[in-house]
Amino acid sequence: MVDFQWPWLLALLPLPLLAALLPAANRREPALRVPFYQRVARLDNTQSRQQRRRWHQGVLWLIWASALLAAASPQWHGDPISQSSTGRDLLLAIDLSGSMQIQDMVYQDQPIERLQAVKLVVDDFIRNRRGDRLGLVLFASEAYLHAPLTYDVQTVGTLLQESQIGFAGERTAIGDAIGLAVKRLRERPDNERVLILLTDGANNAGVLTPQRAADLAAQYDVKIHTIAFGAEEMITEGIFGPRRVNPSQDLDEEALIAVAEQTGGRYFRARDLSELSSVHAELDRIEMIEFDTQVFRPTRSLFHWPLALALGLSALLAAARIYAGRHAGSRSKEALS
């Protein structure tokens, strides 16, 4: 279907006709009299002159009509397309404290740092959230909004990959990270305020405690899913040989469980890459919501077609007048000779 954005402009189509009906201005005598004008005029056949005049008027009318059509902005609308969209507004809070460099994760039979493991798993989670708006909070001694809520999930993934330990200090400000997320999410619709927080330690920096931050989150209906990350056992080489240690002994699971329960979220424990992948698969499932079906029609502007016609006819008319002028000049010379 084709319609016009400004159809009222088409009411100006008869304007040239109205102008032609107006009384002609009083003719004035020419400033220069040409004694041989009548001889030249007789060389021009009256019938052919009338035909050229009609042709010129017809072309001018087409130029006017084409210009008006272009100004009215014609648009083509395709068939309605129904689409059901799914998505959430999610903020991801990732711990960048010094303990995230502990190499207690294994990838392809090689030990890797915790932050590297998080980048591997969370990056896949981010890139699979098509249709969602994602944001990224990085925290250690302080919390920073590294990426605001955006549909550009690829950029959020890139910013996560570029993050490094030490960007925000060495300690862990879990409460401040939650407080910053609440500040960013409190203006969103009630059912879309979701924070996923991943940490491997306990709150030992910042202004807000996790309990106080959870109170604020509950006040603004922000749901928080907490992920405690880190292995519970690893082998280290010491002076007296290898020994088993718990690299997650500083992990405050009780605080993370309390935050999740108080805000209506869930607590997850991830000890390796496999468990972390399962956690994000579960989050991908429970944080998917279907909105109402949306109907839209593809639209394409068509103004350039009548505009091109008007320009083409104008060029053709100008060329015809130049040719007629030259032809009349040559005939005048012949009449005078």
Indicate the pLDDT class of residue 226, thresholds 50, 70 and 90: very high
Is 267 a residue whose pLDDT tops 90?
Answer: yes
Is 261 a residue whose pLDDT tops 80?
Answer: yes
Distances (CA, A) of 108 to 61, 75, 270: 76, 56, 18
Q: Please give the mean pLDDT across all residues of the chain.
A: 81
Residue 337 confidence (pLDDT): 55
Indicate the pLDDT class of residue 265, thresholds 50, 70 and 90: very high
Is 28 a residue whose pLDDT tops 80?
Answer: no
Give 72 or 330, the one with higher predicted confidence.
Answer: 72
The CATH number of 84-292, from 1.10.510.10, 3.40.50.1860, 3.40.640.10, 3.40.50.410, is 3.40.50.410
Give 108 or 131, the one with higher predicted confidence.
Answer: 108
Residue 31 confidence (pLDDT): 54
Residue 47 confidence (pLDDT): 56
Residue 218 confidence (pLDDT): 93
Q: Any idea which of 22-26, 39-43, 128-132 has the lowest mean pLDDT?
A: 39-43
d(CA 48, CA 17): 23
Indicate the pLDDT class of residue 141, thresholds 50, 70 and 90: very high
Q: First vs last Cα of the chain: how many Å apart?
A: 63
Q: Where are the domains of the chain?
A: 2-24+34-78+298-336, 84-292
User: 190: part of which helix (H) or strand (E)?
Assistant: none
What is the gyration radius of the CA atoms in the chain, in angstroms? 38
Of 123, 104, 327, 128, which Cα lies nearest the Cα of 235? Answer: 104
Per the rule left: phi > 0, alpha: psi between -120 and 50, beta: everything else, 103 is beta
DSSP symbols for 223-256 = EEEEEEE--S-EEEEETTEEEEE-TTTT--HHHH
Q: Any idea which of 59-73, 219-233, 284-298 has the lowest mean pLDDT?
A: 284-298
Residue 228 confidence (pLDDT): 92
List, for residues 38-66, the tens digit of each pLDDT value.
554 555 555 566 677 777 788 888 888 89
Of 130, 85, 91, which Cα lies nearest the Cα of 295? Answer: 85
Residue 268 confidence (pLDDT): 94
Q: What percent of the chain has pLDDT over 70?
A: 78
Residue 295 confidence (pLDDT): 67
List, for residues 194-203, the tens digit of each pLDDT value.
899 999 889 9
Residue 38 confidence (pLDDT): 55
Look-up of token digits 């015809």: 320
Q: Mention every residue, 6+ apart, whose C-beta is less than 8 A from residue 311.
A: none
Indicate the pLDDT class of residue 27, thresholds 50, 70 and 90: very low
Is 125 a residue whose pLDDT tops 70?
Answer: yes
Indicate the pLDDT class of residue 116, thresholds 50, 70 and 90: very high
Residue 236 confidence (pLDDT): 67
- pTM exceeds 0.85, yes or no: no
Looking at residue 337, its amino acid is S
Which regions of the chain does DSSP assign to beta strands (E)?
A: 2-4, 74-77, 81-86, 89-95, 105-107, 110-112, 133-139, 143-150, 194-199, 223-229, 234-238, 241-245, 267-270, 290-296, 299-301
Quick one: average pLDDT of 318-322?
81
Structure tokens at 142: 């302080």
Is 132 a residue whose pLDDT tops 70?
Answer: yes
Look-up of token digits 């059901």: 84
